[in-house]
Structure formats: structure tokens, C-alpha cells
Amino acid sequence: MTRHWQDLSSTAALSSLYLRAACKRKITGDTLPDSGLRCYLEVRPQQLEAYRKLCHFSDDGRLPPTFPHVMAFALQLQVLTAKAFPFPLLGMVHLHNSIRVVRPLGGVSRLRFSVHVENLQPHEKGATCDMITEAEDGLGLLWSETSRMLCRGVKLSGEPVATAEPVNEPLDELTRWYADSDIGRRYAKVCGDYNPIHLSATSARLFGFPCAIAHGMWSKAMTLAALRGHLPVSGYEIAVDFLKPVRLPSEVILNASPTAAQGQLRLDGHGELVHMHGSWRPLD
């Protein structure tokens, strides 16, 4: 497929994108657009400092590996709320996230981001699609991300794609942290992701959740911060599947393989709950 790119001088305001999302409630088709958006975006130092503090990243002169996701959030939202995208944003579920750090994220102040969607597949609860985000500097690709989203209620022909089971190997407790009741609001204030299911029990109940749940990308960011001694500076991929949501407030336990070039991770709750599992590996 030939991708048609629209180059923007800036992203749309988040307020207008949330209004657009709130107004679109129906599925309008079963084909993904062949277009994408590109835009140069600046690192905002105050946001970066607040993000490091929120997610427990040390200031080592490099961007946290999840921070480009935050930089690109408005551009991603603009793709998912565009008229050509056939599914309503409200109610979509983030199932999987894979981040590839191609080169070191040091000395970065401005990047060109590109975002598009692809790979529409049937799922037992609807359909999934992949949102692809890439960040380039003057030398080429620096960082990329694949976010798999579940669109409920979509009917596609064909059999659902089977999900791969994680490799079961002995994991050691690396750390644990407490997700307090206002972490969703604090994450939203820093990152702009004001999905109601994360903000309060009252707003979460409107979407079928008994209480607010933590942002999946906050859990992944906290995990990457804790794994800093396990991961190289660059040349790796870390992928996770989001399973049971982290209800707020609650304690979670991060288990991981011993320090190695590749390994497994699992984020557990109490009572045999598994919130997230995943792995890291060197890039080919």
C-alpha cells in the first residue's frame, strides 16, 4: 500500500480532539485509511522534568524510552479522531505496546514524528489495528512504537489471530510500587491523556469500570524505569501485553528475569492478578 502523508506545522489542540472524540460514537466502516500524519515536535523541558519525576526516571541526559510516546500523543489522537478513521475512540482498549529504541535518545530537542494505522485483524471481541509511531532525527529513524488497539463491535470476516503465550521462566521480584488513587489525574496533567476511565471512580463507572484504573503507559514507564539496570542504552525492543487493569488504589509487584540481553517481565497484583507481561530483546 502506498502511504499518503499529510505534513503538519503543528498538532491540533487537545481540547478540540477530545471534543471530536466525544462526538463520534458509531462505527463508520471496516477499512483503515491509507494516510498518515507527520509533524516536527519539540521536547518541552518542563514536561520532561515532570514526567521523569512522575515515572521515577533518573535524569541521565537521555529521554526516557516512553517519553516519545508522550510527545506524539496529540498527533496519535489526531489520527484516531480523523473522519477517515472508521472507529470511535471512546471504548477502544490498548492491548499491546512495543517500543524500539534504535539509537541513544541523548541530546534530543526536536524530532519528526509520523503516525499511521495498519494491520486490521478480526478479534473475538471485535477487531484490532496497529497504530505505528516513528520518530526521526537528522540521521534517520531513532525510535518507533506499535500500539495494538481493540475496537469493540467491529465485524470482520476471518478467524481471530491467536495471541502468543508468554514464555514461562523463573522471574525474581525486582520492585513493587503503590498506585495511589490520584495517579490517573497526575499522569493526565503531565501527558495530556484525560481518558475518563483513569480520572475518578465516578467517571470510570460511566464506561463500565467499578473504579478508576491506571494508565497502561504509566505502568510501562514505571517498569522501564525499574529495568534501567537490565536494558542497554539503545538497540533493543521491549514489548508488553496489557491484561487485567490496575485498579486504583492498589499495590503492584514487578517480576523480571536476571540482568541479560533479553528477558521476561510480569507486573502482578495481589490475589494472582497479572496486569501486564512482556519481554525485551536486542534488535536484529
CATH of the domain at 231: 3.10.129.10
- The band of 153, judged by pLDDT with boundaries at 50, 70 and 90, is confident
What's the pLDDT tens digit per position in 101-142? 999 999 999 999 999 999 999 999 889 999 999 999 999 999
Cβ 111 vs Cβ 40: under 8 Å: yes
CB atoms under 10 Å from CB of 215, counted, come to: 21
Domain extent, residue 129, equals 1-163
For the chain, give the percent of residues with pLDDT over 90.
85
Q: Is residue 171 over pLDDT 70?
A: yes
Q: Are residues 150 and 184 in the same domain?
A: no
What's the pLDDT tens digit per position in 52-64? 999 999 999 999 9
Choice among 115-119, 167-171, 205-209, 256-260 with the minimum mean pLDDT: 167-171
User: Which residue, 131, 163, 195, sits at the end of a domain?
Assistant: 163
Q: What residues contact residue 274 under an 8 Å CB cut-off, 6+ apart?
A: 243, 244, 266, 267, 268
Q: Are residues 125 and 213 in the same domain?
A: no
Q: Are residues 134 and 249 in the same domain?
A: no
Per-residue model confidence (pLDDT) at position 231: 95
- Measured CA to CA, the distance from residue 54 to residue 34 in angstroms comes to 36
Q: Are residues 153 and 170 in the same domain?
A: no
Q: How many independent structural domains does the chain possess?
A: 2
E strands present in the chain: 4-8, 35-42, 93-101, 110-123, 126-137, 140-152, 172-179, 236-242, 250-256, 263-268, 274-282
- The band of 158, judged by pLDDT with boundaries at 50, 70 and 90, is confident
Q: Are residues 36 and 154 in the same domain?
A: yes
| Residue of 133, 118, 131, 103 whose CA lies nearest to 39 | 133
Q: Is residue 50 over pLDDT 80?
A: yes
Cβ 281 vs Cβ 261: under 8 Å: yes
What's the pLDDT tens digit per position in 176-218? 999 999 999 999 999 999 999 999 999 999 888 899 999 999 9
Q: Are residues 132 and 8 in the same domain?
A: yes
- The band of 25, judged by pLDDT with boundaries at 50, 70 and 90, is confident
Share in percent of the chain as helix, strand, coil (round to 5): 20, 35, 40
- Measured CA to CA, the distance from residue 250 to residue 157 in angstroms comes to 40
- Measured CA to CA, the distance from residue 37 to residue 9 in angstroms comes to 11
User: Which residue, 163, 197, 219, sits at the end of a domain?
Assistant: 163
